[in-house]
């Protein structure tokens, strides 16, 4: 088929596409049963064995072009990998950033930077799965971030703080968004931000301190403090002062990928809830015979199917290199909410047993909730739709 030039030429596959990938991912997941994830959650362990298995499979390099040693797969195929992990009880969020954080390097890095890092990221020799954007005092208002990088000869000197930087303790490299020109000296507030590639192995203890953050889920997240960290100027990704644009480029990809995880979560909750509702006998009949139990599960299924269609559309537009901001944002909104409604239905269906750790419902319920907050919160998705799709005044 010829390359689509406009959205009306894009085709979306229905049903279980990428069957070979789905089968292979299911096989990997079967080696990581629920007890593995329960223990990781209980002890706040990084699921190293799972991450190593995913790395060895080559699937975390799905989006790296073949010329750099990756698999060169489509966005949809990459999404299917993450979706299958989550649908089969695993938590790919522990390593999903290895798939997409490199996108900024791929699109905006110099030829030298790409040749140096991408093959090693593709093989898994280097982990690039930390992405430092959020700060404690500025949150969603990214352009006000306070972490400063000041040029000193052939280095940048970084001072400031990040929060919620996930997987930083398990990553060799980090993409760091910093302000290189003070806000009051730029015309556009999005200018003056820059992206640095930080080698965590050199930085730790030399101007950078990483502290684990105890959180509601086992997401291996951290706070990072910078006090005079020296980053070689050659590690600047893209033009100085244009870092906001460089990271914005990757956001549609991130939204599409994490939405696949939400769809996977939703499928797990719906399957688990349906089974329990059919098997659990109370008042001498299966609880699923009651409409009050059955209908929330059926509704969550309908919402999941609708979100899945929207997500397939977003991925297809992305793969055709066509604008997909609207679709990626809508897919993110619908998928995260479908997953949450499925989680709620599953929890309620299980009654008191929903609270028993051995059923995994409470853990996965906690895990799926974050999708409405990170990497972008629902309100900000709605603000995007209101402003950029519907043309209403900017609300913030």
Ligand X SMILES: Cc1cc2nc3c(=O)[nH]c(=O)nc-3n(C[C@H](O)[C@H](O)[C@H](O)COP(=O)(O)OP(=O)(O)OC[C@H]3O[C@@H](n4cnc5c(N)ncnc54)[C@H](O)[C@@H]3O)c2cc1C
In the complex, the residues that contact ligand X under the rule CB under 6 A are 131-134, 139-140, 164-166, 215, 219, 221, 370, 373-377, 379-380, 383, 395-396
* Nearer to ligand X (CB atom), residue 194 or residue 274: 194
Cα pseudo-dihedral 46, 48, 52, 53, rounded to 10: -90
Tokens representing 213 are: 């953050």
DSSP-assigned beta bridge partners for residue 285: 282
**Nearest distance from C-beta of residue 61 to ligand X, angstroms:** 20
Which secondary-structure segment (H or E) carries 313? Answer: helix 291-319
**Nearest distance from C-beta of residue 279 to ligand X, angstroms:** 33
**Nearest distance from C-beta of residue 141 to ligand X, angstroms:** 7
* Nearer to ligand X (CB atom), residue 165 or residue 329: 165
**Nearest distance from C-beta of residue 350 to ligand X, angstroms:** 24
* Nearer to ligand X (CB atom), residue 7 or residue 215: 215
257 CB-side CA count, 13 A = 25
Cα–Cα distance measured from residue 21 to residue 160, given in angstroms and rounded to the nearest whole number: 42
Closest residue by beta carbon to ligand X: 139
371 CB-side CA count, 13 A = 34
**Nearest distance from C-beta of residue 98 to ligand X, angstroms:** 12
* Nearer to ligand X (CB atom), residue 274 or residue 329: 329
Residue 337 Rama label (left phi>0; alpha psi -120 to 50; beta)? alpha
Cα–Cα distance measured from residue 263 to residue 359, given in angstroms and rounded to the nearest whole number: 20
- Report residue 148: phi and psi, to 5°: -110, 140
Cα–Cα distance measured from residue 335 to residue 353, given in angstroms and rounded to the nearest whole number: 26
Say if strands 173-179 and 155-166 run parallel, antiparallel, or are unpaired: unpaired
**Nearest distance from C-beta of residue 159 to ligand X, angstroms:** 18
* Nearer to ligand X (CB atom), residue 203 or residue 345: 203
List CB contacts of 33: < 8 A, sequence separation 6 or more. Answer: 89
Cα–Cα distance measured from residue 355 to residue 365, given in angstroms and rounded to the nearest whole number: 10
DSSP-assigned beta bridge partners for residue 176: 132, 196
* Nearer to ligand X (CB atom), residue 72 or residue 386: 386
**Nearest distance from C-beta of residue 165 to ligand X, angstroms:** 5
* Nearer to ligand X (CB atom), residue 139 or residue 228: 139
**Nearest distance from C-beta of residue 284 to ligand X, angstroms:** 43
Which secondary-structure segment (H or E) carries 57? Answer: helix 48-57
Cα–Cα distance measured from residue 194 to residue 177, given in angstroms and rounded to the nearest whole number: 6
The residue ranges of DSSP E strands in 200-343, in sequence order, are: 208-212, 221-232, 236-237, 281-282, 285-286
* Nearer to ligand X (CB atom), residue 83 or residue 368: 368
* Nearer to ligand X (CB atom), residue 26 or residue 148: 148
**Nearest distance from C-beta of residue 301 to ligand X, angstroms:** 27
**Nearest distance from C-beta of residue 28 to ligand X, angstroms:** 24
* Nearer to ligand X (CB atom), residue 237 or residue 316: 237
Q: Which residues of 53-92 are buried (b: 16+ CB within 10 A; e: fewer)?
A: bbbebbbbbbbbeeebbbbebbbbbbbbbbbbbbbbbbbb
* Nearer to ligand X (CB atom), residue 176 or residue 331: 176
**Nearest distance from C-beta of residue 134 to ligand X, angstroms:** 3
Cα–Cα distance measured from residue 215 to residue 366, given in angstroms and rounded to the nearest whole number: 10
């Amino acid at each position: 088929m010829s390359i689509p030039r406009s959205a009306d030429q894009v085709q979306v596959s229905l049903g279980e596409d990428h069957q070979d990938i789905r089968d292979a991912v299911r096989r990997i997941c079967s080696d990581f049963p629920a007890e593995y994830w329960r223990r990781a959650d209980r002890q706040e362990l990084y699921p190293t064995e799972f991450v190593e298995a995913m790395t060895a499979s080559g699937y975390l390099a799905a989006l790296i072009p073949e010329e750099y040693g990756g698999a060169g797969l489509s966005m949809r195929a990459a999404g299917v990998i993450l979706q299958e992990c989550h649908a089969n009880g695993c938590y790919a969020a522990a390593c999903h950033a290895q798939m997409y954080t490199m996108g900024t390097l791929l699109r905006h890095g110099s030829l030298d930077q790409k040749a140096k890092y991408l093959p090693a990221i593709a093989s898994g020799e280097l982990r690039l799965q930390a992405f430092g954007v959020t700060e404690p005092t500025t949150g969603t208002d990214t352009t006000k971030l306070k972490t400063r990088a000041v040029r000193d000869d052939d280095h940048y000197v970084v001072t400031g703080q990040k929060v919620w930087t996930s997987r930083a303790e398990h990553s060799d490299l980090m993409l760091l968004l910093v302000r290189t020109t003070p806000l009051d000296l730029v015309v556009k507030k999005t200018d003056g931000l820059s992206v640095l590639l930080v080698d965590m192995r050199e930085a730790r203890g030399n101007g950078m301190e990483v502290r684990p953050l105890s959180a509601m889920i086992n997401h291996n997240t951290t706070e990072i403090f910078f006090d005079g960290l020296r980053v070689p100027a050659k590690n600047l990704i893209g033009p100085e002062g244009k870092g906001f644009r460089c990271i914005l480029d990757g956001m549609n990809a991130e939204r599409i990928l994490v939405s696949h995880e939400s769809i996977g979560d939703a499928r797990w909750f719906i399957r688990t809830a349906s089974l329990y509702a059919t098997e659990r006998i109370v008042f001498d009949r299966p609880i699923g015979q009651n409409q009050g139990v059955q209908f929330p599960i059926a509704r969550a299924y309908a919402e999941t199917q609708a979100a899945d269609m929207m997500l397939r559309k977003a991925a297809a537009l992305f793969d055709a290199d066509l604008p997909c901001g609207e679709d990626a944002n809508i897919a993110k909104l619908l998928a995260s909410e479908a997953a949450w409604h499925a989680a709620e239905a599953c929890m309620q269906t299980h009654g008191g047993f929903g609270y028993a750790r051995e059923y995994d419902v409470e853990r996965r319920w906690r895990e799926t909730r974050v999708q409405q907050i990170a990497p972008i919160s629902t309100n900000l998705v709605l603000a995007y739709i209101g402003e950029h799709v519907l043309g209403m005044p900017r609300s913030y």
